[in-house]
């Protein structure tokens, strides 16, 4: 099923199918092909057929439609055994019972405490911690880039910062951050053999279950402990549910924010006129962050929802039992929403940046405010300390990671001073 040859054959039979490239060699070309394939694009993910929503307006409507569900058992290809745990993307869907995988009233029950802990007001309390982590990592960056040495902004700054923040929030021992970073990199990479991916997911489950038992015995002031403690009157979460939420938070809370920070730096360095305007205070960092989220979203495709009945989208139909992905990159560049210059990075665009990168409806990203706070601290601090920051290689040579769902790069080598 996930043999590349079979995938190519299926694509040949099915003229209109966009075969998503696991190596991410031409993300912009693929984005255009998906847009041209229409509002409901036929795609193939490692041999598995699915639909992709490519228009802002349709996705906005369908993300509110209860006929689309997260429940894997609603997927025909899963029921029939055509998709199994041998499929390299199964871990993006079969991620344990959590706020990410459940809908309806049970979803509200699973999600409430997390979203309450991540409101802008609650996040003010951890702003000083994020500022401190940022300063420490900028010191490390200065050290690495001393005397004109090339230093990797990703490895030294953009990657460790979000992991420290989400680790602190969830009560993870900082000594585990390197292990978690390594495991998630391997989890997301399409170069990792599937048996290794399944084994590392099992190891992570053991790790998280241990953490939950530790916090059950000795609750501390973190979100994991809060998830364990029963509310007055509320039905407490089970250990499986706490583990599910914890892993969703750690996975989502670090991988996406790496992309946000790096993609913003990259966009600004590639558009020096716009960087100047930001450094001169003519355009805000908030605008940079929103335009980056729209134009170069950290999440390329969000897997997956399943139709419980036939659902009409434009001229097409998602048949009962079929799977649909939300293609946030294509949606962020939808000219019907963002105008004819949707493909351009432009922090001066006249229309307000009404993107939908955090999703919409009941599953809208509970960490949206957190990511904005992190990027809102990291970016001005970085450029404040190193206003002459520049890329140490041609922008065109930057390589994307071989990850089908996330938009992240291998490395981002920089020079700190002119
Ligand atoms: C990774 C594997 C895991 O153990 C748990 C989850 C659940 C949350 C998922 C995460 C996944 C992958 C990245 C996601 C995240 C929610 C938001 C994030 C999809 C499957 C995004 O990229 C938007």
Inter-CA distances, 288 with 2, 263, 329, 332, 380, Å: 39, 10, 17, 15, 11
Q: Is the CB of 246 under 6 A from ligand 1?
A: no
In angstroms, the CA 45 to CA 22 distance is 8
Which atom number of ligand 1 is nearest to the Cα of residue 359?
23
Which atom number of ligand 1 is nearest to the Cα of residue 302?
19
Q: Look at residue 350 in the predicted model and tell me its pLDDT.
A: 81
Separation of CA 247 and ligand 1 centre (Å): 8
Separation of CA 378 and ligand 1 centre (Å): 23
Separation of CA 92 and ligand 1 centre (Å): 6
Looking at per-residue pLDDT, the higher value among 233 and 41 belongs to 41
Which atom number of ligand 1 is nearest to the Cα of residue 405?
22
Dump the DSSP string for 4-42: HHHHHHHHHHSTT-EE--TT-S-HHHHHHHHHHT-SEEE
Per-residue model confidence as pLDDT tens digits over 362-391: 999 999 999 999 999 999 999 999 999 999
Instruction: Tell the residue nearest (CA) to atom 23 of ligand 1.
Output: 299
Q: Is the CB of 318 under 6 A from ligand 1?
A: no
Per-residue model confidence as pLDDT tens digits over 205-229: 999 999 999 999 999 999 999 999 9
Say whether pLDDT at 25 is over 60: yes
Dump the DSSP string for 262-319: HHHHHHHHH-HHHHHHHHTTSS-HHHHHHHHHHHT-SBS-EEEEEESS-EEETTEEE-
Q: Look at residue 3 in the predicted model and tell me its pLDDT.
A: 53
Pairing mode, strands 311-313 and 323-326: unpaired
Q: Look at residue 233 in the predicted model and tell me its pLDDT.
A: 64
Separation of CA 256 and ligand 1 centre (Å): 9
Instruction: Tell the residue nearest (CA) to atom 18 of ligand 1.
Output: 252
Q: Which two tokens stand for residue 328?
A: 């946030």
Say whether pLDDT at 4 is over 60: no
In angstroms, the CA 413 to CA 391 distance is 6
Q: Look at residue 10 in the predicted model and tell me its pLDDT.
A: 44
Please report the sign of the dihedral spanned by the C-alpha atoms of residue 141, residue 143, residue 145, residue 149.
Answer: negative
Peptide bond preceding 304 in cis form (omega within 30 of 0): yes
Instruction: Tell the residue nearest (CA) to atom 20 of ligand 1.
Output: 92
Q: What would the mean pLDDT of 63-89 be, rounded to a whole number?
A: 98
Please report the sign of the dihedral spanned by the C-alpha atoms of residue 195, residue 197, residue 198, residue 200.
Answer: positive
Continuous segment of H or E residues that includes residue 184: helix 177-188
What's the pTM?
A: 0.95
Per-residue model confidence as pLDDT tens digits over 187-209: 999 999 999 999 999 999 999 99
Q: 290 near 349, Cβ under 8 Å?
A: no
Pocket perturbation via mutation, ligand 1, pick of 95, 242, 254 by most ligand atoms within 8 A of CB: 95
Separation of CA 209 and ligand 1 centre (Å): 18
Per-residue model confidence as pLDDT tens digits over 276-310: 999 999 999 999 999 999 999 999 999 999 999 99
Please report the sign of the dihedral spanned by the C-alpha atoms of residue 230, residue 105, residue 90, residue 26.
Answer: negative
Say whether pLDDT at 14 is over 60: no
Q: Is the CB of 299 under 6 A from ligand 1?
A: yes
Share above pLDDT 90 across residues of the chain, in percent, rounded to a whole number: 93
Q: Is the CB of 183 under 6 A from ligand 1?
A: no
Instruction: Tell the residue nearest (CA) to atom 7 of ligand 1.
Output: 248
The residues that bridge with 51 in the sheet, in sequence order, are: 42, 324
């Amino acid at each position: 099923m996930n043999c590349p040859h079979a995938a190519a054959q299926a694509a040949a039979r099915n003229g209109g199918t966009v075969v998503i490239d696991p190596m991410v060699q031409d993300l912009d070309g693929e984005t255009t092909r998906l847009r041209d394939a229409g509002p409901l694009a036929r795609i193939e993910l490692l041999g598995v057929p699915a639909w992709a929503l490519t228009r802002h307006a349709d996705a906005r409507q369908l993300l509110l439609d209860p006929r689309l569900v997260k429940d894997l058992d609603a997927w025909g290809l899963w029921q029939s055994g055509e998709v199994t745990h041998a499929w390299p993307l199964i871990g993006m869907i079969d991620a344990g019972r959590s706020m990410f995988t459940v809908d309806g009233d049970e979803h509200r029950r699973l999600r409430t405490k997390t979203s309450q802990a991540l409101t802008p007001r609650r996040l003010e309390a951890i702003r000083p911690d994020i500022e401190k982590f940022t300063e420490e990592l900028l010191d490390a960056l200065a050290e690495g880039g001393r005397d004109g040495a090339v230093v990797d902004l990703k490895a030294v700054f953009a990657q460790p910062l979000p992991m420290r923040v989400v680790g602190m929030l969830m009560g993870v021992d900082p000594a585990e951050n390197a292990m978690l970073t390594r495991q998630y990199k391997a989890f997301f990479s399409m170069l990792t053999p599937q048996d290794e991916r399944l084994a590392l997911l099992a190891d992570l489950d053991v790790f998280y279950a241990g953490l939950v038992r530790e916090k059950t015995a000795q609750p501390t002031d973190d979100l994991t402990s809060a998830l364990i403690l029963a509310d007055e009157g509320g039905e407490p979460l089970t250990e499986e549910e706490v583990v599910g939420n914890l892993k969703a938070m750690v996975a989502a809370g670090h991988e996406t924010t790496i992309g946000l920070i790096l993609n913003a730096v990259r966009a600004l360095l590639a558009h020096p006129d716009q960087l100047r305007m930001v450094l001169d205070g003519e355009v805000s960092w908030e605008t940079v962050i929103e335009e980056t989220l729209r134009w170069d979203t950290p999440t390329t495709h969000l897997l997956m929802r399943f139709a419980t009945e036939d659902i009409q989208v434009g001229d097409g139909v998602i048949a009962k039992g079929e799977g649909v992905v939300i293609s946030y990159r294509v949606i962020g560049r939808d000219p019907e929403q963002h105008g004819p210059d949707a493909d351009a990075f432009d922090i001066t665009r006249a229309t307000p940046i009404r993107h939908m990168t955090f999703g919409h409806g009941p599953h809208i990203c509970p960490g949206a405010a957190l990511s904005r706070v992190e990027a809102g601290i990291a970016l001005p601090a970085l450029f404040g300390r190193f206003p002459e920051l520049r890329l140490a290689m041609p922008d065109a040579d930057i390589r994307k990671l071989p990850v089908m769902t996330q938009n992240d790069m291998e490395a981002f080598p920089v020079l700190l001073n002119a």
